[in-house]
Amino acid sequence: MGRWITLTVNGFRRTIEVKDNEILLDVLRDKLKVKSVKAACWRGECGLCTILLNGKLVKSCLVLAVEVDGSDILTVEGLAKNGELAPIQRAFIEHGALQCGFCTPAFVIASYKLLQENPSPSEDEIKESLSGILCRCGTYYEIIEAIKDASKYYQVKREI
């Protein structure tokens, strides 16, 4: 028997039935079809299931869905506005900050969060903020360059 929970996912309210032991990662991917959230280790090691939960970065494989009833979730699907990619998404494309792309949604959402809080991060701060996410293709250099580039947009935005 399950319980009914309501989540706001990328601006849309969704009410679904979940089991007591069901993890948020599986609910997002399998029940809500939010496929940018990737599943790899299911034990908090790879960071590929990273999302913004009530404004905080979390690994969704470590969260039980029943614990987050009423929460607000943001994934890369929710970043584009009026059909336009967010600056951090554009920067990833322009810098070729991906190869297979499997890790990209997690890096993009973590970078978005970093730039919201710190529009001009140092290289060390960028590395620190992304340290929980693994890229098997080794595109770390390009990811860091993309974030530095996108930070120009977030600095300007903050000054306006």
d(CA 28, CA 138): 27
Shortest Cβ 150–ligand FES spacing (Å): 17
Residues in the chain: 160
Q: Smaller CB distance to ligand FES: residue 129 or 160? A: 129
Q: Shortest approach of ligand FES to residue 24 CB, angstroms? A: 10
Give whichever of 139 and 151 is closer to ligand FES, judged by the CB atom.
139
Least spacing, CB of residue 64 vs ligand FES, in Å = 13
Q: How far is the CB of 14 from ligand FES (least distance, A)?
A: 21
Shorter beta-carbon distance to ligand FES: residue 2 or 96:
96
**Nearer to ligand FES (CB atom), residue 57 or residue 103:** 103
CB of 160 to ligand FES, least distance (A): 33
Give the residue with the Cβ less far from ligand FES, 5 or 51: 51
Question: Which residues here bind ligand FES, judged by CB under 6 A?
Answer: 39-42, 44-49, 59, 61, 98-103, 135-137, 139
CB atoms within 10 A of CB 45: 12
